[in-house]
Amino acid sequence: MPSTFHSIETAKRSLFTQTAALNTTGHNIANANTEGYTRQTVKMRASIPMEAYGINRSNVPGQLGTGVEFDAIERIREKFLDSQYRGENTELGSWTIRSNTLDKLQQIMNEPSDTGIRKVLDNFYKSWSDLSKDPESVTARTIVKENALALTDAMNHMSKQLSNLSADLTSNVEAKSSELQSYVNSIADLNQSITKIEGLGDNANDLRDQRDLIVDKISKIVNVTVTDTDQGYNVNMGGQALVTGFAPTTGINGAFLQAAFASNDLQGGEIHGMIISRDQFVADYTAQMDNLANTLANGDISVTLPKGSVLPEGTVLNGVTYTGTNRTLQSDLTVTVKGLNGLHQLGYTQEDKDANGNMVAGKPFFVASNNGGAITAGNITLNTAIVDNPNAIAASLRVTGTAPTEELVKGNNTLASLMSNLKLNNFTSVSTGNKATIDSFFSSMVGQLGIEAQEATRQTQNSTALVSQVETMRQSVSGVSLDEEMSNMIKFQHAYSAAARFMTTFDQLLDKLINSTGVVGR
Amino acid sequence: MRVTNNMLSSQLLLNLNRNSERMNNTQNQMATGRKLNKPSDDPVGITYSLRYRSELSSNEQYQRNVDSAVSWLDFNDTVMDQAGQIMQRVRELTVQASTGTNPQSALDSINKEIGQLKEQMIDVVNSQLNGKYIFNGQTYDKKPYDLPLNADNTHDTSGAASIATDTGNVNFIVGENVALPINVTGNEVVGTSTDADNLFTIFNQLSAALASGDIKASGDQLANIDTRMDKMLKVRSEMGAKSNRVELMQSRLSDLEVNLTDLQSKTEDADYAELLMNSKIQENIYNASLSAGAKIISASLVDFLR
């Protein structure tokens, strides 16, 4: 026989359980837009039925239901989707940064435009061509000087922008690494809290959500793998542990991540993108620009000096020293000289004669501003002797007479013409040994940048699509559907109402029994 | 598959973003008029674009150089024309002097005119264009026939015949690896010291013959005058041929400019008709996704449950 009040207990359990379910529904609705939130359900089950007690087995039929109870509030989530999401998110992080950097590089290159390096280079050659028409003119020389300065300024500026970009990336790595450090610390803390709570048998659903969300965020910064242990999440970046149980890896900084990049533990994420951007892209274009500057100044070029040209006293070309009467070329001479600088030194300036009464030969045209070092895009500058005195530009390749009465043939424009023709000359790259015109070096660099940027944009779009696809699948499993919650709410509300009605019914039953029976004759 | 509210809104947002990005791209192309705005827009095109731009720039310079060459050649022609006229007059006077009916006073006045013509000729062969002595080769900063003055302020031309002008060519670059010598040396016009028909030799001998009334000697100069005039005409026709060549070059360069600009435009420029079409299509798609979004987002069970 069940107890008289058994059904009241059953009704009460029902009320409590439906309340809990309603409460969870409310919690779900409230968090419909919470980032990283996983919908929760109340696991209901019929509570353990009872047998009527007695010395012998009761002969009352069946087991007596005792109503409902809930044993857990669970998150609905698929682990597989998490790891897939994180993998794609890592790719996205890396490609986004790479694509951004390449976009910035494209802005720095500033092509096609009428203000880029190519344009100033063209102007530089053009001013030599103009000088070739008026080789004696100081105005034309000043224009050559100004255009040369514009060229070196443009290169210096670009080099500066490249090194700024590189420095930005380095400081971004540091900033991101401290962000990563704080995430790692949070995960260790959450591991501890979750273990504590779940040790008591509860599900720390919301804390787990937070922890998963943080892992998602980390996955954008670096590549992660997660193993779920009794001590919480162990988070690894490649073979490098970031969190083991309650212990976060401390000292995550630029050097730590650089080492991880070198050991191949760091294979994705924003930091990976930054390091690749800096060490591959920016470094590569910096090197190419440096090479361009140095090759223009010093790369081997083959030029043909026309017959009748007079080489400066003591010039050594192809192992032949030109001195005295053999300075005057009897036939066209094709020689290899060291870039624009080498060519410039074959000609004569309009300066006063030197101590021996010879006309002054050209000086190196471009020099490194730090004196003596190799010329780079950053330090290339016009020889100060030329900046101070445009007459120090050599345009002529001819003198008449001999020292001390040697005289400059001012109208000889051979050198100026050769200079303006350098646009078509193949230079031998100082660093790679490749032969091409300066224009080709530059346009191949721009072309390479275009391809890399296009590839990065495409990869970014692809990984964005993949991430959003996986995220959609994840949302499909774990996201809150308001329609669903509303229908659940109504379901639970009705269940609650019905349970309450059941209690009222039973209350009336008892009322009848207690207050309305045994009153005969009253 | 379960579809949640977040999925709907994030999908909508994603689509709207994608559409507006496309619209932005199209509008950017319309605003700049170019489909090639940065290297990644067309990595292969950019290398062509850079080459066309660079070739256009060279072309522009060649055109400028050709223009200078033209003015130099035109000036040469003018000067040679003047020289020719002087020679024509000298010839007339010589013929006149050689008839044998002239009294010495007439010969003297002819001689005076010859003297003046010589002065004129000295001016001509010392002609300057933009401060350059055009008949002195590469040493055009120096006067080629820098003759001392006599007491009567005329030039002493006794040593003039032996003057050697510079033989260097003044080369203008008028195309890729095309250097065009545009000058004529003084010696080509006047003759060298060994030429019997050196202009100054002719003048001097003519003057001497006229002064002494030696009609035969002055008549003998006619042959020299004729060969010199032939040589000067030859120089002039060479200049003319060069002018023709430069003019051809000029039109070739402007043709090339048109071609290059055309190629550049094909690589860089946007196709407006296509862009406008795309823009319209994208606008429609955007509007459609907006209105679809408005419908999806508003409808929820919440609205219908009371």
- Report the gap between the CA of A184 and the closest CA in chain B (Å): 28
B180, with CB counted inside 10 A (0-12, 13-18, 19+), is buried
- Whole-number pLDDT of residue B99: 84
Encoded tokens for A204: 């720390």
Peptide bond into A404 cis (omega under 30): yes
Token output for B173: 């670059």
pLDDT of residue A463: 95
Task: Report yes or no: A410 at the B interface, CB cutoff 8 Å.
Answer: yes
Q: So what's the pLDDT on residue A370?
A: 81
**pLDDT at site B297:** 74
Residue written as tokens 């045209």?
Answer: A365
Does A200 or A51 have the greater pLDDT score? A200
| Tokens matching residue A389 | 């005195």
> Pick from A351, A354, A348, A340: which is nearest to A391 by CA?
A351
Tens-digit pLDDT profile for residues A261-317: 999 999 999 999 999 999 999 999 999 999 999 999 999 999 999 999 999 988 998
Q: How far apart are CA A136 and CA A412, in angstroms?
A: 9
Query: Is B99 within 8 Å of B222 (Cβ atoms)?
Result: no
Distance from CA of B241 to the nearest CA of A (A): 21
Query: Which of A125, A398, A423 faces B138 most closely, judged by CB atoms?
Result: A398
Say yes or no to pLDDT of A132 above 70: yes
Task: Check if B47 contacts A (Cβ < 8 Å).
Answer: yes
Judged by CB atoms closer than 8 Å, whether chains meet at A443 and B46 is answered as yes
CB burial readout A427-442, b (16+ within 10 A) else e: bbbbeeeebbbbbbbb
Q: How confident is the model at residue A52 (pLDDT cuts 50, 70, 90)?
A: low
B110 bridge partner residues = none
Shortest alpha-carbon distance between residue B166 and chain A (Å): 10
Does residue A31 contact residue A479 with C-beta atoms inside 8 Å?
A: no
Q: CA of A118 to nearest chain B CA: how many angstroms apart? A: 7
- The answer, for B176 touching chain A at a CB cutoff of 8 Å, is yes
Residues 88-117 of A with CB under 8 A from B: 102-103, 106-107, 109, 111-112
B168 in contact with chain A, both atoms CB, cutoff 8 A: yes
Mean pLDDT of A184-199: 96
Question: For chain A, give me the number of helices (H) and strands (E)?
Answer: 13, 16
The pLDDT value recorded for residue A55 is 67
Among B13, B46, B135, B253, which would you mutate to test the A interface (most chain A Cβ atoms within 10 Å of its Cβ)?
B46
Considering only the beta carbons, identify the residue of B130, B176, B179 that sits closest to A417. B179
Q: What is the pLDDT of residue A58?
A: 64
Amino acid A201: pLDDT: 87
Q: B5 and A481 in contact (C-beta within 8 Å)? A: yes
A337-359 burial, b for 16+ CB within 10 Å, e for fewer? bbbbbbbbbbbbbbbebeeeebb
A422 touches chain B (CB under 8 A): no
pLDDT at site B143: 93
Residue located via tokens 């050594």: A316
Distance from A198 to chain B by nearest Cα, in Å? 29
Tell me whether B44 touches chain A (CB under 8 Å).
yes
Residue B104 touches partner A, C-beta closer than 8 Å: no
Assess A468–B contact: CB distance below 8 Å, yes or no: yes
Whether the per-residue pLDDT at A121 is higher than 90: the answer is yes
Is residue A43 within 8 A of residue A100, CB to CB? The reply is no
All residues of chain B having their beta carbon less than 8 Å from the beta carbon of residue A447 are 39, 43-44, 46-47
If pLDDT is split at 50, 70 and 90, which confidence band does A182 have? very high
With CB atoms and an 8 Å threshold, state whether A472 touches B11: yes
**Over 80: is that where the pLDDT of A372 sits?**
no
Distance from CA of A143 to the nearest CA of B (A): 14
Q: How confident is the model at residue A373 (pLDDT cuts 50, 70, 90)?
A: confident
**Å between A228 CA and nearest CA of chain B:** 27
Helix (H, G, I), strand (E, B) or coil at A243: strand
Whether B300 has its CB under 8 Å from any CB of chain A: the answer is yes
Position A345 pLDDT exceeds 90? yes
Contact B40 A106 (CB under 8 A): yes
Q: Are A491 and B22 in contact (CB under 8 A)?
A: no
Whether A410 sits inside 8 A of B139 (CB atoms) is: yes
Backbone angles phi, psi at A65, to 5 degrees: -65, 145
ipTM confidence score = 0.89
Between chains, do B7 and A475 touch, taking CB under 8 Å as contact? yes
Does the pLDDT at position A519 exceed 90?
A: no
What pLDDT score does B6 carry? 85
Among the partner-chain residues B4, B11, B65, the one whose CB lies closest to the CB of A129 is: B65
Reading chain B (306 residues) residue by residue, the pLDDT tens digits are 888 888 888 888 888 999 999 999 999 999 999 999 999 999 999 999 999 999 999 999 999 999 999 999 999 999 999 999 999 999 999 999 988 788 899 999 999 999 999 999 999 999 999 999 999 999 999 999 999 998 888 899 888 888 999 988 999 999 888 899 999 999 999 999 888 899 999 999 999 999 998 888 888 899 999 999 999 999 999 999 999 999 999 999 999 999 999 999 999 999 999 999 999 999 999 999 999 888 877 777 888 876
Could you identify the residue written with the tokens 């699509």?
A465
Quick one: tokens of A369?
């501003």
Residue A29: name the closest of A490, A486, A487 by CA: A486
Q: Which residues of A touch B3 (CB under 8 A)?
A: 476, 481
C-beta separation of A111 from A122 below 8 A: no
| Cβ–Cβ gap A468/B14 under 8 Å | yes
Distance from the A133 Cα atom to the nearest Cα atom in chain B, whole angstroms = 7
- Chain length of chain A: 522
With contacts defined as CB-CB under 8 Å, which chain B residues touch A479? 2, 4-7
Pairing status of strand A435-436 against strand A40-46: unpaired
Of A106, A475, A481, the CB nearest to B38: A106
pLDDT of residue B300: 78
A514 in contact with B at a CB cutoff of 8 Å? no
Minimal-distance CA residue of chain A relative to B34: A112
Give A434-480 pLDDT, tens digit per residue: 999 999 999 999 999 999 999 999 999 999 999 999 999 999 999 99
Quote the Cα angle for A331-A332-A338, to 5°.
Answer: 135
Q: Kindly determine whether residue B39 and residue A106, on different chains, have CB atoms separated by under 8 Å.
A: yes
| Candidates A33, A112, A412; nearest CB to B138 | A412
- Across B75-205, where does the E strand assignment appear? 128-129, 132-133, 171-175, 178-181
Question: Could you write out the three-class secondary structure of A328-353?
Answer: ECCCCEEEEEEHHHHHHCCCECCCCC
| pLDDT at res. A57 | 66
> For the segment B4-20, what is each residue's pLDDT rounded down to a tens digit?
888 888 888 888 999 99
pLDDT computed for residue A405 by the predictor:
86
Record: contact A126-B47, CB cut-off 8 A: no
Alpha-carbon gap, residue A320 to A29, rounded angstroms: 91
| SS (HEC) of A363-425 | CCCEEECCCCCCCCCCCEEECHHHHHCHHHCCCECCEECCCCCCEECCCCCHHHHHHHHHHHC
Which residues of B, range 265-294, sit inside 8 Å of A by Cβ?
268
Q: What is the pLDDT of residues A377-416, one digit of tens each?
A: 999 999 999 999 999 999 999 999 888 888 899 999 999 9
Q: How confident is the model at residue A53 (pLDDT cuts 50, 70, 90)?
A: low
| A451 lies within 8 A of chain B by CB | yes
User: B179 to chain A, minimum CA–CA distance in Å?
Assistant: 9
Nearest 5 degrees, angle CA A175-CA A181-CA A183? Answer: 110
Distances in whole angstroms, Cα of residue A486 to Cα of each of A214, A473, A493, B306: 30, 22, 10, 11
Contact A106 B170 (CB under 8 A): no
- Chain B contact for A476, CB < 8 A? yes
Q: Considering only A3-7, A148-152, A175-179, A289-293, which range has the smallest mean pLDDT? A: A3-7
Mean pLDDT over A313-336 rounds to 90
What does the alpha-carbon distance between residue B8 and residue B28 come to, in Å, rounded to a whole number? Answer: 30
Give the pLDDT confidence score for residue A217 in this predicted structure: 97
CB distance from B50 to chain A under 8 Å?
yes
Does B173 contact A447 at a Cβ distance shorter than 8 Å?
A: no
For residue A105, pLDDT beyond 70: yes
Q: Tell me the helices (H) and strands (E) count for chain B, helix number first.
A: 8, 4
CA-wise closest residue to B166 among B142, B130, B200: B142
pLDDT (0 to 100) of residue B159:
87
Q: A175-179: which pairs have CB atoms within 8 A and are 24 or more residues apart?
A: A176/A221, A176/A270, A176/A271, A176/A274, A177/A252, A177/A253, A177/A254, A177/A256, A177/A257, A177/A271, A178/A252, A178/A253, A179/A221
CB contact under 8 A, B2 and A481: yes
d(CA A414, CA A131): 10
Cβ within 8 Å of residue A300, ≥6 positions away: A336, A337, A338, A339, A427, A428
Interface-testing mutation among A39, A406, A412, A467, with chain B (most B C-beta atoms within 10 A): A412
